[in-house]
């Protein structure tokens, strides 16, 4: 599979945007996690060629709109992923979690009809190759605290805060426990 890579600045971090020949987003990763992107791409696509190339203008405009406060802008971004059928089911379900709210791993598992499979849902979440657009950052622990995020807990917190600032849902939703408690510390390397 031949893929294109564009490096793009954003308010949170430099991003790696991987698209295919049809302009469909295949991976989005933070630039300091490039090794993770290559590892997941190898798992999902086997042999692939990554060459420097521009992402579609429409994708760049959509990402800019999101970072400027249009938190619903990412809804229509076309994506394609490898992964197992279970992983793709979880990733598709993540796209239904609205900006400005959070869901626990257990709630997501129950929503999918896999009650008691929160660990499997968490593992699928952790293998998500498309950060931000497939919003795995909206999934929190059963105790309401931030847990695992491939891009780091500091970025997870930033994304949730960003969406909370612009979400009409968050304005009427009671404060989440992760907002009122101490700020989570990034995991040690």
| Domain residue spans of the chain | 2-76, 85-180
pLDDT at residue 184, as a whole number: 40
Provide the CATH number for the domain formed by 85-180 in this structure. Answer: 1.10.10.10
CB 51, CB 4: distance < 8 Å: yes
Mean pLDDT score of the chain, rounded to an integer?
Answer: 88
* Mean pLDDT within 45-61: 93
Q: What global pTM score does this model have?
A: 0.87
**Is pLDDT of 111 > 60?**
yes
Q: Which CATH class is domain 2-76?
A: alpha beta
Q: Could you list the active site residues?
A: 136
Tokens representing 109?
Answer: 């598992």
> 149 versus 13: which is more confidently predicted?
13
What is the percent of the chain with per-residue pLDDT over 90, rounded to a whole number?
72
């Amino acid at each position: 599979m031949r893929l294109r890579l564009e490096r793009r600045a954003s308010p949170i971090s430099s991003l790696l945007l991987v698209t295919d020949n049809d302009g469909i987003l295949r991976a989005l990763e933070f630039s300091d996690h490039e090794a993770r992107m290559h590892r997941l791409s190898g798992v999902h696509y086997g042999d692939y060629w990554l060459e420097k190339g521009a992402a579609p203008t429409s994708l760049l405009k959509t990402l800019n709109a999101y970072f400027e406060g249009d938190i619903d802008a990412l809804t229509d971004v076309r994506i394609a992923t490898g992964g197992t059928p279970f992983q793709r089911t979880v990733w598709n379900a993540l796209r239904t979690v609205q900006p400005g709210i959070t869901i626990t791993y257990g709630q997501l598992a129950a929503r999918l009809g896999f009650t008691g499979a929160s660990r499997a849902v968490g593992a699928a979440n952790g293998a998500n190759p498309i950060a931000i657009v497939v919003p795995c950052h909206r999934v929190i622990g059963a105790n309401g605290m931030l847990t695992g995020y491939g891009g780091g807990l500091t970025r997870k917190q930033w994304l949730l805060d960003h969406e909370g600032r612009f979400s009409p849902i968050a304005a009427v939703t009671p404060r989440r426990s992760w907002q009122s408690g101490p700020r989570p510390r990034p995991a040690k390397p």
